[in-house]
Amino acid sequence: MAIEERGRPRDNSEGVKINTCNLCGEQCGHENAPNMGLVNAKVCGGYFSTPGNGDGALDDMTLYTFSMCEFCLDWLFCQFKTPPQTNEYHMDGSTGTAEVFRPAKQRVQEDVWRRYKEDFFREFHHRSAARGKKE
């Protein structure tokens, strides 16, 4: 896939836009849930952000737009020195108490109630290989 195509939406068979993960190159979701993960995220370099000429690594006042699938987000969270805060999200917009972050692989291994473990690990290994990282 050409680099300029990564992260751009594509139509599925029903004309629904499905974004591509900029990290692994796979789709962010599937036909029933077409945009799962961090889709069309935007970040802008600050005024003093010019690399080699300022304090940051992003270019001064440049907008970056990207998408990441849930598998790559989970992988990214595992790289953090300080894990992300996690809370159960309620449909009314409220959140439950903070919980300790557990990587998806650990949750699937530990939680008895998860029924599609083989499917998860098949996709987990596929996305890891697409990222170039063997797990």
State residue 10's pLDDT score.
54
Q: What would the pLDDT profile of 108-131 be if each residue is shown by its tens digit? A: 999 999 999 999 999 999 999 999
Per-residue pLDDT reduced to its tens digit, 1-52: 333 344 455 555 555 567 899 999 999 987 778 789 999 999 998 888 878 7
pLDDT, tens only, 48-95: 887 878 788 888 888 999 999 999 999 999 999 999 999 988 889 899
Cβ neighbours around 127 below 10 Å, total: 22
- How many CA atoms lie less than 13 Å away from 54 in the CB half-sphere? 13
User: Does residue 41 contact residue 65 with C-beta atoms inside 8 Å?
Assistant: yes
Task: Let me know how many helices (H) and strands (E) the chain has, helices first.
Answer: 3, 6
Q: What is the pLDDT of residue 131?
A: 92
pLDDT at 120: 94
pLDDT for residue 130: 94
Give the span between the Cα atoms of 124 and 133, in whole angstroms.
Answer: 11
Residue 47 is predicted with a pLDDT of 80
- At 13 the pLDDT is 53
Cβ-proximal residues to 24 (8 Å cutoff; 6+ apart), any chain: 69, 71, 72, 127, 130, 131
Predicted structure pTM score: 0.78
Residue 39, classed as helix, strand or coil, is strand
Q: What is the pLDDT of residue 134?
A: 53
